[in-house]
Amino acid sequence: MAVHYVSTRGAAPVLDFADVLLAGLARDGGLYVPDAWPTLAPGALARYATMPYAEIATEVMWPFVAGSIDEADFAAMVADAYATFDHPDVTPLRDLGGGLSLLELFHGPTLAFKDVALQLVGRLFDHELSRRGEKVTIVGATSGDTGSAAIEACRDRAAIEIFILHPHGRVSEVQRRQMTTVLSGNVHNLAVEGTFDDCQDLVKALFADEPFRDRVRLSAVNSINWARVMAQIVYYAVAAARLGAGAGTPVAFSVPTGNFGNVFAGYGAQRMGVPISQFVIGSNRNDILTRFLESGTMVQEGVEPTLSPSMDIQVSSNFERLLFELYGRDADRVSELMLAFRSDGVMSVDPEHLAVLHEQWAGARVDDEETVAIIKAFHRRAGVLLDPHSAVGVGAAERCRRDPSVPMVSLATAHPAKFPDAVEAATGIRPPLPARLADLLEREERYDVLPNSLDAVRNHIDGLLRP
């Protein structure tokens, strides 16, 4: 029986996987979730203890895509996606002592956890578009970190053209080169003479321009896309299985959180039958979720820059999916709450529902000073170099861990070499780039510099797409 997808706001059409993949956001402004959570077969977790990652991934995700994609095609795309990772376990566990392990999600092409989802989603997009005989143009803005994962996911895919805007001269050389040294014909880097906010405003304006949007078939692969969440469910199952969940041993997870997509995937794994006893969310100074867990009220504030820039967010969009489950799938209630939040920047859940959340969810805020102290401490204690995002997760794990007899897995979302300045400041060691990127600073770059002007960017894209 195939999974179908419903919107958290209840007023968008029910879709199958392929349509949800291409749609992203639901038409009523909600997010798509499965109409029912499939469950793992009996004995599956015990088998996963030793199975290769890609085989587990195919099995775990199959119920979500069945009916939309041919089984052999799907298995081939999954195998291909995870062959781009340079560790045989894809997402290896590393023991930090004291029942704490690190789940390393950064062995993909761009050294950050977004590769786990995007390497598969790029392939799924291309496959479905090709089957339909369609093409899309993906346009996105990056402050340096997420653009490269999107570019690596879309490069050389016949059905996709991708344009990534970054603020000219305001991203680190490594971050820029991870994008601009991809010389594929369908990849276009635009360095905008402005800030990251300017880049985001330009992208929003392009999406708001209906004739343009239709003319170039504008699309996005952002973090609210269900397929990204789906791909992230897998490593929770893999990590738990490796730690003995097949024999019923529960596991706790700590997740450095921005948009809530990553940790919501953990919730999905739990609903599928993975015995997860606690979720800890770590935030930096931009702590909207931690404040919400304390008070039951979500209040939007301004964004402050931190050492962990990929978590510098104002709103955690994917939280809406958990809210939907918390309120027993009452889409009307979710719509009310989300509309209040949209208009006033404030939303509250009642004490009973907050108490339900507190049974399994905890959150901690880790500021920059503590982040540096954690990087330093774990280098000394365990000989590991943590990037600042991963350090926030570890700090939250230590602070919120409830049961020391339950293994705690903290998610490492970026390779330390991706944030070398912070790591060097904390430890005195500048982490080297892995072998696959060792010659990054010598590679040829290609990008166009454009003024901060909607006309300039639109004309540039139109010009490149016109045959």
List, by residue number, the catalytic residues. 114
Q: How far is the CB of 213 from ligand PLP (least distance, A)?
A: 25
8 Å CB contact between 7 and 331: yes
Beta carbons within 10 angstroms of residue 459's beta carbon = 12
Cβ contacts of 197 within 8 Å, gap of 6 or more: none
Taking alpha carbons only, the member of 73, 76, 79, 44 closest to residue 60 is 44
Residue with Cβ nearer ligand PLP (129 or 162): 162
8 Å CB contact between 384 and 101: no
| Dist. CA 9–CA 12, nearest whole Å | 8
Name the DSSP letter for residue 52: -
Phi/psi of residue 140, each to 5°?
Answer: -150, 160
> H or E stretch including 251?
strand 251-256
Judged by DSSP in three states, 273 sits in coil
| Dist. CA 102–CA 446, nearest whole Å | 36
Residue with Cβ nearer ligand PLP (186 or 232): 232
Q: How far is the CB of 238 from ligand PLP (least distance, A)?
A: 18
HSE toward the beta carbon, residue 304, CA cutoff 13 A: 10
Q: How far is the CB of 390 from ligand PLP (least distance, A)?
A: 8
Q: How far is the CB of 308 from ligand PLP (least distance, A)?
A: 7
Q: How far is the CB of 427 from ligand PLP (least distance, A)?
A: 18
Phi/psi of residue 79, each to 5°?
Answer: -60, -45
8 Å CB contact between 66 and 3: yes
Q: How far is the CB of 90 from ligand PLP (least distance, A)?
A: 17
| Dist. CA 20–CA 27, nearest whole Å | 11
Residue with Cβ nearer ligand PLP (74 or 106): 106
Residue with Cβ nearer ligand PLP (172 or 452): 172
List of residues contacting ligand PLP (CB under 6 A): 112-114, 145, 223, 256-262, 310-311, 389, 413-414
First to last CA, the chain: 44
Residue with Cβ nearer ligand PLP (410 or 413): 413
Residue with Cβ nearer ligand PLP (38 or 258): 258
